Amino acid sequence: MDVNADFSQRVVLHGPEIDWIETRMKGVKRRMLDRMGAESGHATSIVSYDPDSHFSAHVHTGGEEFIVLDGVFQDEHGDFPTGSYIRNPPESSHTPGSDEGCVIFVKLWQFDPKDRIGVKVSFDNIEAVKVEGRDGVTIKPLFKDEREDVRLEEWSAGQETILQDNGGIELLVLDGDFKEGDDTLKKHSWLRIPIGSSLKATVGDRGAKVWVKTGHLRFVKKDIAA
């Protein structure tokens, strides 16, 4: 099944407006943002765990990256509250679930197959740094290698901020709002901008906190082929 699988196109979706789809595991459902291929292929989605719901143990052959948006995500490696950023590289395994319930933003099968770097960090424990040439912007670095740059960006209210193309841009609004083109993006809105395009955002009165990934769309076809 393909969902928003043409990566040459700009896509904007508003998470709260997307219907939940039940998964094969009771109490776990998802809002699909993009997918390319079969159930075990490249996918980006928002996933909800009801209280006391769990997935069975499994190996992430293609890797898994996620942010905890609400509640506490749990596996045998620990408890990860709202504001946690996790990278489980290819061939890692776990048994995910949540005693109290949680919502996560998750990306599957989008790693270099040789990647073995795991990341488990909390936004609260990362120091924000200013960005030269981008007034009113601070970032918290989450992960960076030759393929991609992943960070949390905070944009001051009323500012205009620009992101130049660097191999594609993807973002998820964690709080606040901004306008981009004819669209107003709010909490849990998702935007994917293709290679060759840039982002020009006008930030709303409350500012905006945004998860950002750049560079990775250069490798989409290669990842799927792997």
Predicted local distance difference test score (pLDDT) of residue 16 = 97
Task: At 203, list the tokens.
Answer: 């930030």
CATH class as words, domain 17-122: mainly beta
Predicted local distance difference test score (pLDDT) of residue 166 = 87
Q: Judge contact between 127 and 140, C-beta under 8 A.
A: yes
Residues in the chain predicted with pLDDT less than 70, given as ranges, are: 38-40, 222-226
Kindly state the DSSP code that residue 15 receives in the 8-state scheme.
G
For the chain, the structural domain boundaries read 17-122, 124-221
Domain 124-221 sits in CATH at 2.60.120.10
Q: Judge if 17-122 and 124-221 fold alike in CATH terms.
A: yes
Please tell me the distance from the alpha carbon of residue 225 to that of residue 222, in angstroms, as a whole number: 5
| pTM score | 0.94
Predicted local distance difference test score (pLDDT) of residue 39 = 63
Nearest to 74 by CA among 47, 101, 107, 36: 101
Predicted local distance difference test score (pLDDT) of residue 194 = 97
56-90 pLDDT tens trace: 888 989 999 999 999 999 999 999 999 999 999 99
